[in-house]
Amino acid sequence: MLGNLKENDSIYVLDRRKRPILYTGVVVDVKPPKTQFGQPAVPGNSFLPTFVEMSVRVNGEVLNLQQMPCEKNLVDNGSGWVVSNDSDAMCAYIDNMKRTSQARLESRSLDEEIVEACDDIMPRLNPALAKERERESAIEARFNRLEDMMQRLLERELSSKE
């Protein structure tokens, strides 16, 4: 539990702000636990949650971690940092993060199919949309023919200069 950490204990810090990077840090300083109202924690009083503030040296920098729940062994503070004193808890967190991202990657092809299907269905329900699509197709076909003609003219011009 984070409330049991002492100076020189190891701690895992996962930086999720971009590509996840795991650091092993060292606790530099731990302040005595306090309640959520800033009052010193009373030993044996389990009615109020207690929090600890600590400084951790990670990758040559000192991070000040505040409002760390004493009874937890892993905290995701929502700003891109995940802190834990338990390697198993950090492994489980990282495994869950990987599974979530993998599921999003796998659902991407399904989402692409859904978009294509919706594009095919909508003109059947909305005749104005069908006319708009036909007009766009006709404009694109004319543009492609014009582009082909320009290319042939350019090739003819270049071959006549040789």
Instruction: Provide the pLDDT confidence category of residue 52 given band limits of 50, 70 and 90.
Output: confident
pLDDT (0 to 100) of residue 93: 93
Gap between the Cα atoms of 50 and 62, Å rounded: 23
Question: What angle is formed at CA 57 by the lines to CA 42 and CA 74, rounded to 5 degrees?
Answer: 55
Q: Cβ(82)–Cβ(13) under 8 Å?
A: yes
CATH class of 2-97: mainly beta
Gap between the Cα atoms of 73 and 132, Å rounded: 58
Q: How far from 119 is each of 112, 114, 122, 131, 139, CA to CA, in Å?
A: 11, 9, 6, 14, 19
pLDDT (0 to 100) of residue 144: 92
pLDDT digits (tens, 9 = 90+) for 14-48: 988 889 999 999 999 888 878 776 666 666 666 67
Q: With the C-alpha atoms ordered 147, 153, 155, 157, is the resulting torsion angle positive or negative? A: negative
pLDDT (0 to 100) of residue 146: 93
pLDDT (0 to 100) of residue 100: 92
Please give the average per-residue pLDDT across 45-69, as a whole number. Answer: 83
Q: With the C-alpha atoms ordered 39, 78, 89, 62, is the resulting torsion angle positive or negative? A: negative
User: In this prediction, what percent of the chain has a pLDDT beyond 70?
Assistant: 93
pLDDT digits (tens, 9 = 90+) for 62-85: 888 888 887 888 988 777 889 898
Locate the domains of the chain by residue range. Answer: 2-97, 126-161
Is the pTM above the cut of 0.85? no
Please give the average per-residue pLDDT across 98-105, as a whole number. Answer: 91
Task: For residue 69, report the phi and psi dihedrals to the nearest 5 degrees.
Answer: -60, 125
Gap between the Cα atoms of 22 and 83, Å rounded: 10
pLDDT digits (tens, 9 = 90+) for 86-98: 999 999 999 999 9
